[in-house]
A and B are shown apart, each in its own frame.
Chain A
Amino acid sequence: MATDAKTMFTMGVELQLLPCDPQDINTQRCRIGPFLMTSLRLNIGTPVLISTPGGSCLCTAWPRRDLAEGYFQFDPKCATPNFSSPTREASPFKCQNIRPLNCPKLKRVKVNVVVKSTELKKRMSSLLIHDFVKEILSGVHVHERHVITLSSFESEMTYIYIENANSGSTKAGLVTEKTCVEIAGVITVAEHRRRVAQESPTMSLGGMEDVYASLKELIHLPLFYPKTLSKLGVLCPRGVLLVGPPGVGKTMLVQSVVKEVAATLVTINGPVILGSRPGESEENLRAMFHQAQAASEEGPCVLFIDEIDSLCPKRAGSSNAPENRVVAQLLTLMDGISSRGHFVTIGATNQPDTLDPALRRPGRFDREVIIGVPTLTQRKSILECLSKKMPMSSSVDLIALAEVTTGYVGADLSALCREAALRAILHSSEGSDGKAIEMHHFHEALKRVQPSCLRSSIGLTDYKPVSWEQIGGLADVKLKLKQSIEWPMKYPESFVRLGLSRPRGVLLYGPPGCAKTTLVKAAATSSHCAFLSVSGADLFSPFVGDSEKALAQLFRQARACAPSIVFLDEVDSILGSRGDARVAHSVQAQVLSVLLNELDGVGLKTAERRGPQRKLCESEEHPGSQQEQQMEFHEVCNKDVMVVAATNRPETLDSALMRPGRLDKIIYVPPPDHEARLAILRLCTEKMPLDPDVCLEELASQTSLFSGADLENLCKEAALLTLHEQSMEASRVQQKYFNKVLQNTKPSLSAQQIHVNSCEIIFK
């Protein structure tokens, strides 16, 4: 009874962990205070299993030399693979983690010998290895699926992995001279690490199923069907080039595939390879290929060259001799693989155009896999993967989240989730109860995390959201805009049903100050598109060809995060007309030709491909919920960039720009009529305290030819005049001030201008 009480008492004792004494290294001893040993009912040499967060470790209990209590030391000779000793700073060591273990003498034990290199295998006969291992193991307590670490100078062997003890009937035991040691295999350290890694859970990867499958097949093919391939007399494809913008998960994809097929991964990093001495870089490169080949002799192996553009730039362009030599070495090595080694080379880059063309041919990189910016469905599955381990509240709608995150790549989405989780933690620490992540946390995170493909884009603008209600009048213009921008996003299924496609471009024209820009803002706010706005200042540069490049770049980025809106304000100043003979080959004409091509070119560059090419089959039964179905429609329907242009001089625009297929929706934004003016005045005076004698109706009828901007100005002036005439304490704006201002201001529009504008398009 007394000892029981003692045991109960000791259960809560916390010990301070100290590093192992040098004399105890490789002795499998753990040092415990004698009092604690007695209360745990341990004798000298009793085997104990020590469990820590980093794994578990089998030791024999010994009293401390100085007999002090409260400290704990152990030697991790027999521990789980990847065992990491807890650091002293970590939480104190608890007594419960020391557990006595029954270790009978073993009859047989099955082990894997891990050697530094394959040389040992050649040098020693298997019988010799067997005797040697037996001698090393005798007198050692072993535990199944644990690793015995051998002292470094023992031999070329580094570990002995215990597969099972007594054919699996016992967990742990003592190896004696009579134990029959069976060696399952002699493997290298790399192979051992691979096997250990295989047992750990795989990473999850969303939205890359097709690329994943094709990569996996490529690695598996030569391993599973070597005879078939040799019968056909063909060589297996050996190289894959992964192309995609940064952050889409190229590196992660490779790591995940490698883990899944349990291959060894040899990674080459450009900067690590490049050395300072002449010839050093080539030597390093050869060494890496050699390493991959050595690994491939034991099992599947993947040689991964990350950021291959840094290692293999175009040779023609540079006169840098050492760099060219590295490129040449890489090419030769890649050619050499097919005859010698059996491993797959995977290169990853986000700038395929800067690669040496010699690299991109079958025999070197046989296949090129393009991973684009994720589409809507891909984003949803990425979000599903990311949120698997997060406590999500039921309010989180992943489909809605996927819809608003246009242009976000995998890395952005994971940053978004992290940010949302951080918000949730902050909120919970502030006192509100929820530990789960709510939808509003995601909304807050969205403000902080911007899509990385739009970073450094010239067109990215931060605009104040505007709702349709904030624009007075113009009901039919609003409707037309909604039809061409908002409807395809909101009702994709109806568009698909009627065979409608959304317009490629919208041109807004009309007299200045009539809310063209504000209308576009409202359209961008209501549809969750990426919104890129560009003006002449962004485009024009003193260098020849720079403006065209900037515009093409803008469209490339817009396509990467489609559906998106590109807004060209004051388009007449950006683009000239080719008909204008006075300025042939001007920059404006060049920019115009780029725009025409971007709007209605032959096709996209291959490197810009995104997601699987989907087509909708109407006859097919769509599985899944209605929401998912709608998502699919959405993805098919909205994969293009919409161009919205605004101008007040439509007559200067090139006629090629205005044909259907380019800017096919041409909307006239008229100056406000009486009704519209009234609505605008109401909006402008919403926050103004008005005297009861103010009659907006009357004002509206008096202000013909006033634009929206004029009306806003009128209200402002009237209020200022009130302050000026009365005093700073004035509380109401009276009608007389409106009238006074009205006398002094002239409308900015003229009747002739309006006539010209409204007739313009009809004449064309």
Chain B
Amino acid sequence: MAQTVISLCHQHLKKCFQTLEMTNKAWNLVLAECTPLISSLGNLGEQLRALDNVQLDLTPLHRFPDLKERLRFKLLQAVDVVLCKLTDKVDELQKLLKTLNNQVSTAFQFYEHNTDTLDLATCTLRSATSPSIADMLEWLQDAHNYYCSQFRRRKYLLQVLRPDDLVFMEEVSKRWESFYSADGEEHIEDTLSRVCLFVDS
């Protein structure tokens, strides 16, 4: 009885880590796609500010009527397009997060339902081929928390962006970059490498 529960639990955990691996790859891909978009957003911000600063009346271009407004309209349209694309990317991230969340919570639920069989002694038992259940649950929770906070921050950054706050817009790419946490990524990589034997078995 106990053995079957443990192996079932291991099944769940294996699925979780497979999802995690997949999420990790997909997540980084999506982020890589975001980078040019973000930098173009910063560019547009710079252009908008330049437009604010320039005095068109003093240039030969003053013959064109409403040039400033038209240019601004163009630029804002471009910002809109970039933001639309970025929102799509964020949606993709959200989907990935949701899948991971589902898997992790299923694993936790399974553990909570079987706490009678899976007592702490069993859960903390480590072997040559597999880490203990407690460790794996912890890693899963850590990974999930990490992705959640990453997602929250990036989403928040895009949501507080406003076309009239040009300074903020120029800083966007810098802030976006600052969210990247080497420690967090390393932790995920570590986790994946620790469980690779267990997942493959």
Question: Are B120 and A63 within 8 A (Cβ)?
Answer: yes
Q: Is B134 in the interface zone, CB < 8 Å from A? A: yes
Question: Are B152 and A154 within 8 A (Cβ)?
Answer: yes
Contacts A27-B145, A45-B108, A123-B160; A136 near B134 (Cβ below 8 A): no
Question: Are A38 and B134 within 8 A (Cβ)?
Answer: no
* The residue from B124, B153, B160 contacting A124, defined by CB atoms under 8 A apart: B160
* The residue from B108, B142, B152, B156 contacting A23, defined by CB atoms under 8 A apart: B142
Q: Which residue of B lies closest to A124 (CB)?
A: B160
A279 to chain B, nearest CB (A): 27
Q: Is A65 in the interface zone, CB < 8 Å from B? A: yes
A113 to chain B, nearest CB (A): 14
- Please encode chain A, from 18 to 48, with 1 for each CB lying within 8 Å of some chain B CB and 0 for all others: 0000010001000000100110000111000
Q: Which residue of B lies closest to A136 (CB)?
A: B152
List chain B residues, Cβ under 8 A from A63.
120, 123-124, 134
B179 to chain A, nearest CB (A): 9
Q: Is A151 in the interface zone, CB < 8 Å from B? A: yes
List chain A residues, Cβ under 8 A from B138.
62
Q: Which of B158-181 contact A (CB under 8 A)?
A: 159-160, 162
List chain A residues, Cβ under 8 A from B119.
38
CA distance A477 to B49 in the complex (A): 98
* The residue from B134, B148, B149 contacting A44, defined by CB atoms under 8 A apart: B134
List chain A residues, Cβ under 8 A from B120.
34, 37-38, 43-44, 63
Q: Is B82 in the interface zone, CB < 8 Å from A? A: no
List chain A residues, Cβ under 8 A from B121.
34, 38
Q: Is B115 in the interface zone, CB < 8 Å from A? A: yes
CA distance A236 to B96 in the complex (A): 60
Question: Are B115 and A128 within 8 A (Cβ)?
Answer: no
Question: Are B159 and A67 within 8 A (Cβ)?
Answer: no
Q: Which of A129-166 contact B (CB under 8 A)?
A: 132, 135-136, 139, 151, 153-155
CA distance A63 to B121 in the complex (A): 10
- Please encode chain B, from 98 to 120, with 1 for each CB lying within 8 Å of some chain A CB and 0 for all others: 00000000001001100100011
Q: Which residue of B lies closest to A151 (CB)?
A: B149
List chain A residues, Cβ under 8 A from B142.
23, 27
Q: Is B37 in the interface zone, CB < 8 Å from A? A: no
Question: Are A62 and B134 within 8 A (Cβ)?
Answer: yes
Question: Are A44 and B137 within 8 A (Cβ)?
Answer: yes
- Please encode chain A, from 606 to 626, with 1 for each CB lying within 8 Å of some chain B CB and 0 for all others: 000000000000000000000
Question: Are A44 and B123 within 8 A (Cβ)?
Answer: yes
A115 to chain B, nearest CB (A): 13
List chain A residues, Cβ under 8 A from B11.
none
Most chain A beta-carbon contacts within 10 A, residue among B111, B120, B124, B137: B120
List chain B residues, Cβ under 8 A from A124.
159-160
* The residue from A37, A62, A65, A154 contacting B149, defined by CB atoms under 8 A apart: A154
Q: Which of A144-194 contact B (CB under 8 A)?
A: 151, 153-155
List chain A residues, Cβ under 8 A from B152.
132, 135-136, 154
List chain B residues, Cβ under 8 A from A123.
160, 162
Q: Is B135 in the interface zone, CB < 8 Å from A? A: yes
Question: Are A155 and B123 within 8 A (Cβ)?
Answer: no
Q: Which residue of B lies closest to A27 (CB)?
A: B145
B162 to chain A, nearest CB (A): 8
CA distance A135 to B101 in the complex (A): 13
* The residue from B108, B111, B141, B156 contacting A27, defined by CB atoms under 8 A apart: B141
Q: Interface residue tally of chain B, by bracket?
A: 20 to 34
Q: How many residues of A contact B (CB 8 A)?
A: 23
List chain B residues, Cβ under 8 A from A65.
135
* The residue from B112, B145, B153, B156 contacting A45, defined by CB atoms under 8 A apart: B112
List chain A residues, Cβ under 8 A from B123.
44, 63
Q: Which residue of B lies closest to A155 (CB)?
A: B156
- Please encode chain A, from 368 to 401, with 1 for each CB lying within 8 Å of some chain B CB and 0 for all others: 0000000000000000000000000000000000
List chain B residues, Cβ under 8 A from A155.
153, 156
B116 to chain A, nearest CB (A): 10
- Please encode chain B, from 116 to 150, with 1 for each CB lying within 8 Å of some chain A CB and 0 for all others: 00011101100000000011011001100100110
List chain B residues, Cβ under 8 A from A128.
159-160
Question: Are B134 and A132 within 8 A (Cβ)?
Answer: no
B119 to chain A, nearest CB (A): 7
A48 to chain B, nearest CB (A): 14
List chain A residues, Cβ under 8 A from B153.
153-155
List chain A residues, Cβ under 8 A from B149.
151, 154
Q: Which residue of B lies closest to A37 (CB)?
A: B120
Question: Are A44 and B160 within 8 A (Cβ)?
Answer: no
List chain B residues, Cβ under 8 A from A153.
153
Q: Which residue of A lies closest to B187 (CB)?
A: A23
CA distance A124 to B162 in the complex (A): 10
* The residue from B115, B159, B160, B162 contacting A43, defined by CB atoms under 8 A apart: B115
Q: Which of A61-88 contact B (CB under 8 A)?
A: 62-63, 65, 67
List chain A residues, Cβ under 8 A from B162.
123
* The residue from A43, A62, A154 contacting B112, defined by CB atoms under 8 A apart: A43
List chain B residues, Cβ under 8 A from A139.
148
CA distance A132 to B149 in the complex (A): 11
- Please encode chain A, from 208 to 249, with 1 for each CB lying within 8 Å of some chain B CB and 0 for all others: 000000000000000000000000000000000000000000
B93 to chain A, nearest CB (A): 13
B168 to chain A, nearest CB (A): 9
A152 to chain B, nearest CB (A): 12
CA distance A155 to B155 in the complex (A): 11
CA distance A501 to B171 in the complex (A): 82
Q: Which residue of B lies closest to A135 (CB)?
A: B152
B149 to chain A, nearest CB (A): 7
Q: Which residue of A lies closest to B181 (CB)?
A: A153
Most chain B beta-carbon contacts within 10 A, residue among A37, A45, A62, A151: A45
List chain B residues, Cβ under 8 A from A23.
142, 187
List chain A residues, Cβ under 8 A from B141.
27
Q: Which residue of B lies closest to A132 (CB)?
A: B156
Question: Are B112 and A67 within 8 A (Cβ)?
Answer: no
List chain B residues, Cβ under 8 A from A38.
119-121
List chain A residues, Cβ under 8 A from B111.
43-45
Q: Which of A654-699 contact B (CB under 8 A)?
A: none
CA distance A135 to B152 in the complex (A): 8
CA distance A153 to B175 in the complex (A): 11
In the complex, 21 of the A-B residue pairs with CB atoms within 8 angstroms, ordered by the A residue number, are A23-B187, A38-B120, A43-B111, A43-B115, A43-B120, A44-B137, A45-B108, A62-B134, A63-B124, A65-B135, A123-B162, A124-B160, A132-B152, A132-B156, A135-B152, A136-B152, A139-B148, A151-B149, A154-B149, A154-B152, A155-B156
Residues of B within 8 A of A (CB): 108, 111-112, 115, 119-121, 123-124, 134-135, 137-138, 141-142, 145, 148-149, 152-153, 156, 159-160, 162, 187
> 8 tightest CB-CB pairs across the interface, nearest first?
A43-B115, A34-B120, A38-B120, A34-B124, A63-B134, A63-B124, A123-B160, A44-B134
Residues of A within 8 A of B (CB): 23, 27, 34, 37-38, 43-45, 62-63, 65, 67, 123-124, 128, 132, 135-136, 139, 151, 153-155
Taking A34-B120, A34-B121, A38-B120 as given, write out 19 further A-B residue pairs in contact, using a Cβ cutoff of 8 Å, ordered by the A residue number. Answer: A23-B187, A34-B124, A43-B112, A43-B115, A44-B111, A45-B111, A45-B112, A45-B137, A62-B134, A63-B120, A63-B134, A67-B124, A123-B162, A128-B159, A132-B152, A136-B152, A151-B149, A154-B153, A155-B156
